[in-house]
Structure 1
Amino acid sequence: MRPAAAWDRLLAMLPALLAALAYTALSVQQWRRFDFPSWDLGIFSSLASAYARGSAPIVPIKGDDFNLLGDHFHPILVLLGPVWALFPSPLTLMVLQALLLAASAVPLTRLAIDRLGRTIGLMAGFVYVFSFGLQSAHIVQFHEIAFAVPLLALSLTAYLRHRMMTAAIWAGLLVFVKEDLGLTVTVLGLIIAVRALMDARELQERSAEAGRRATTVKQLALSFGSDADIAARRDFTIGAGLTLWGVFWFLLSTLLILPALNPQGQFDYTDNIGSALDVFGPPIKWATVGLLILATGVVGLRSPLVLLALPTLAWRMTGNVEHYWGWTWHYSAVLMPIAFAALLDALPKIARFADRLRSSSPAWAHRIPRWVLQPRAAAFPLGLAALATVITGAAGPTMPVLQLAEPDRWSVSEQAQQAREAMAALPPGTQVASDISTLAPLTVDHQVQWLHGPNQRAPYCALVDQWVLNQSPAQQQVWLEDRWNTVFEQRFSNDRYSVWCQQSAPQGWERPAPASRPQSDR
């Protein structure tokens, strides 16, 4: 390997390395403060724990005996099992997501350096890895799309390097991340196939011209059946196969697998999709689309790769769930490698188009400045892509990396200390019902269900967040006993949490002494 190429490889890792450190630090901040924005981390931690035991992903947080493969189709998450077995903590999943999101920047940054030069290419890598879609995804903690982001980055980089088989292999794995990504795979297959057809047509025109100019039989033979023609046929086959693969797994997962494993015998998210007319409002949908256009540097709209965003945007913008419409959750993460790859695809095309115009006869074409033809011209669309992140940071809490500079974020909150006190009063290995603020950390050594979920099976203990169930102790006891038709007694209480357990202890368990206040880990 040439020294310059080796240096470029190292440079391409710089944005990923800094992002991995920043996103991991954010995870540690949240973990120390017990800052859990939803129940999702608890759900995926329960899944990882089940896979680590070699069992089906039964997640009581979603309901009694609920198989999470009946919620979304994400068999790739079986890879979490060995990781959890080595490091059994929800923080492990948060750090893993930080590494996966950061790693997606490596192939894209390397491509940007190859096309735009080291300075602009490196800048492009930072714009991508700290884009609003990746930041907002990481701050809401682990989701299965953490695997989709690097797979998309690897696939689209291979596509832009004209390595269609490699692109198809990486993209093909997306069907095992989430059921709707089968449609994204289908669109990429169509793009590859159409591109191959266009290449074949261009080759035919060139061959016909070469045939007319041929003066010997040998020259005439060489004008047909070239290596390029064979490559175009091969790429068409790859694209067609990838299209069928995506359609097959989308239909299989949504029509057969998910209903078969779902307790209700259905795909739960069908009712979340509204009509096509719903895409026209409310205005936040248009704002999200506008931000995505900015993320492509606007010039990325010139690339067919932007079509890959349509399946995700379709179910989001026709959905009746408000979280789908905006930019503050994880739903835009898979769109970031698409937007960035489209930008990298479009920049050379625009430069070539400008060059052709300058070489043409119209007088106005010669007024196009020469800097448009240079790699540094990419700084402007990259600035637009960065602007999308700045706008989201100004409009809402979607620039989480700035939290790293806030001293208060590094301190252990009073809520976290009180939660740890309450958790210490729980017998290990028992079934516990809790609120969202303690679901995830309880998964390490408990079977956990949501206190307000559909479960009919009574937990042995309930850890009540008194900010959620704002009642007196007597009222809490009545609520719990009516909820599960079981007698509970209070075992622990502080300003924020109370622990209630059934009167009869689990077999082989001895009631512990009252928990003492733990030392602060400030």
Structure 2
Amino acid sequence: MAESAAGAREELARRSAYAIAAAFFVLYSGYSLRRHHLLRTTGYDLGIFEQAVRAYSRFQAPIIPLKGPGVHVLGDHFHPILVTLAPFYRIWPGAQTLLVAQALLIALSIVPVARLAVGRLGVGVGLWLSAAYALSWGIQGALGFDFHEIAFAVPLLAFAMVALAERRWRAAVAWTLPLLLVKEDMGLLVAAIGGYLIWRGQRRSGAALVVAGLAAVALTVKVVLPFFNDGRFSYSAYLDPDKDLWSLALSFPAGLFENPRKLVLLALLLLLTGGAALRTPLALVAVPVLLSRLVSTNPVHWEVGRVHYNAVLMPILFVALIEVLPALRADGRLRMRIWRRTAIVFPGIFALMMHLTPWGITNPNNYADTPHYAAARRVLAKVPDGVAVAAGNSVAPHLTGRCRVVIFPPSHGERVDWVVTDTRVRTIAPKTLDQESAARAGLWPPTAEQVQAALRALPSQGFTKVAEDDGVVLYRRTAAAP
């Protein structure tokens, strides 16, 4: 009888997990495609990733013209896992394929989290926490900012963390190792999971993960990325060049108080589970990758809004929370009962609060069309297929699937025959990244002022305006530059 009840509970958890994941896949993909339709995606980064995947689908070197002439995607970040999208892109070419793939990958991460939650906590609490995970601010922030390779890491981490919670050590290792193909810093997470395995007595497999993770970080940062990038690692500037690792460690506490955004990030991560996740060592898996962000000099790395960096932290914290809740329930003390209820309620409250944010998936403002978007689409339709075009950041991903696109104004003197941009876009770089830092990093498109200056110079370069509609302008080269 007990075995029959356990089997029924497991089947209920499995069915519930797939049902909620399917529902959120529909929501995620609808939200992402609607954002793209309304020109709320950007060349930096959706257009960049589409150029890379498009090249992979044609068995070509993944050169990304949006970042400059001859820029190889594996010299920018190490994410060979993007190759797996090439067959799907070959069948359904377009930025939409990447957005749907991201929605599917993130929705897939709900399956193990929901199965664990329903199986251990019952249907009511389990589904509540599953929905809270699916609508957590880290997940919504990633979906609200284009496509990123991190989408692959979220389900891999979710399955790996659940395997750790269920003491399925081999499965945990199997789900963890592919993280090394997602991004150069994922080796830190691999090493952290290895450390947890060692703590659990799985010394051989744990040590193997620690070595593999740290070796992968060193190999990609010191060898692979520089090999494809003229001997440089572009993002080394985000670490203070005047400080070694020891100096960074000593200055870290003071740095937290010098930059309030870092404290806000840590506070929100702590409050997300009411602090309960910290009762299990599982939560410590998040520490290395979180520390690497906090020591960065790039303010975007400390953000809690529409950025993708926080998505990988969500499966770690939620699985840790689910792991610890039964122990809090078993403890009869009043403060433990209060803590348990707080830990259950807080994730849902955070998810509901996301409705009020500009990037909230359930915010109706994110689905409203306006005449401006229709005007922009009319202008973009006039750009012929296969031409070389310099495009503004907000319109670039609508052309990268059918044109050779560079950012406008071209930063390296690339020759193009068409120019299109939306002059109503007031700023391009995110508000958290000052223009001096943006220029120094070379990662973001030009400012609105630079765009206006470049537009005024187009007639003297042989361009003629052929269309303008509600601030969206299109130029074509009709003569050689004098």
Q: TM-score range by the shorter chain?
A: 0.7 to 0.9
Aligned: 1:335 with 2:302 = no
Aligned: 1:344 with 2:322 = yes
**Identity value in percent:** 32
Relative to structure 1, the CA distance from residue 302 to residue 370 in structure 2 (aligned partners, 3 Å threshold; closer, same or farther) is closer
* 2: CA distance, partners of 1:118 / 1:377: 20
1:151-190 to 2 correspondences below 5 Å: 151-190=156-195
Tell me the equivalent position of 1:254. 221
Shift of 1:436: 0.9
Aligned: 1:440 with 2:387 = no
* 2: CA distance, partners of 1:182 / 1:168: 13
Shift of 1:378: 4.6
* 2: CA distance, partners of 1:280 / 1:474: 39
Tell me the equivalent position of 1:490. 465
* 2: CA distance, partners of 1:464 / 1:120: 49
Tell me the equivalent position of 1:239. 206
Tell me the equivalent position of 2:361. 401
Q: Secondary structure at the match of 1:179?
A: coil
Tell me the equivalent position of 2:299. 322
Aligned: 1:426 with 2:383 = yes
Aligned: 1:146 with 2:112 = no
Q: Secondary structure at the match of 2:297?
A: coil
Gaps of 5+ in 1: 197-234, 356-367, 506-522
* 2: CA distance, partners of 1:477 / 1:19: 42
Contact 1:291 1:388 in 2 (8 A): no
Query: Higher Cα Rg: structure 1 or 2?
Result: 1
Letter in 1 for 2:237: D
Aligned: 1:7 with 2:12 = yes
Tell me the equivalent position of 2:419. 462
* 2: CA distance, partners of 1:114 / 1:46: 42
Q: Secondary structure at the match of 2:198?
A: helix
Shift of 1:155: 0.4
Tell me the equivalent position of 1:381. 343
One of 39, 53, 58 as aligned partner of 1:34:
39
Relative to structure 1, the CA distance from residue 437 to residue 236 in structure 2 (aligned partners, 3 Å threshold; closer, same or farther) is same
For each residue in 1:401-442, what CA deviation from the matched residue of structure 2 results, as whole angstroms up to 9, or x when unmatched? 222x45xx5443322222222222222101111101111010
Tell me the equivalent position of 2:274. 297
* 1: CA distance, partners of 2:275 / 2:163: 22
1:210-225 to 2 correspondences below 5 Å: none
Contact 1:33 1:415 in 2 (8 A): no
Give me the TM-score of the superposition, normalised by structure 2.
0.85
Shift of 1:477: 5.9
Contact 1:42 1:443 in 2 (8 A): yes
Q: Secondary structure at the match of 1:171?
A: helix
For each residue in 1:303-330, what CA deviation from the matched residue of structure 2 results, as whole angstroms up to 9, or x when unmatched? 1122222222222222222222121111
One of 2, 17, 34 as aligned partner of 2:22:
17
Contact 1:120 1:378 in 2 (8 A): no
Give me the TM-score of the superposition, normalised by structure 1.
0.79
Aligned: 1:311 with 2:288 = yes
Tell me the equivalent position of 2:373. 416
Contact 2:379 2:473 in 1 (8 A): yes
Contact 2:376 2:469 in 1 (8 A): no
Tell me the equivalent position of 1:213. none
Tell me the equivalent position of 1:231. none
Tell me the equivalent position of 1:119. 124
Shift of 1:158: 0.7
Q: Secondary structure at the match of 2:466?
A: strand
For each residue in 1:125-174, what CA deviation from the matched residue of structure 2 results, as whole angstroms up to 9, or x when unmatched? 11111111101110112111011000000001111111111101111111
Shift of 1:176: 0.8
Contact 2:121 2:326 in 1 (8 A): no
Q: Secondary structure at the match of 2:458?
A: helix
Shift of 1:370: 11
* 1: CA distance, partners of 2:43 / 2:72: 19
Contact 1:292 1:388 in 2 (8 A): no
Tell me the equivalent position of 2:438. none
Q: Secondary structure at the match of 1:402?
A: coil
Relative to structure 1, the CA distance from residue 474 to residue 104 in structure 2 (aligned partners, 3 Å threshold; closer, same or farther) is closer
Relative to structure 1, the CA distance from residue 266 to residue 474 in structure 2 (aligned partners, 3 Å threshold; closer, same or farther) is closer
Contact 2:141 2:304 in 1 (8 A): yes
For each residue in 1:361-380, what CA deviation from the matched residue of structure 2 results, as whole angstroms up to 9, or x when unmatched? xxxxxxx25994xxx98543
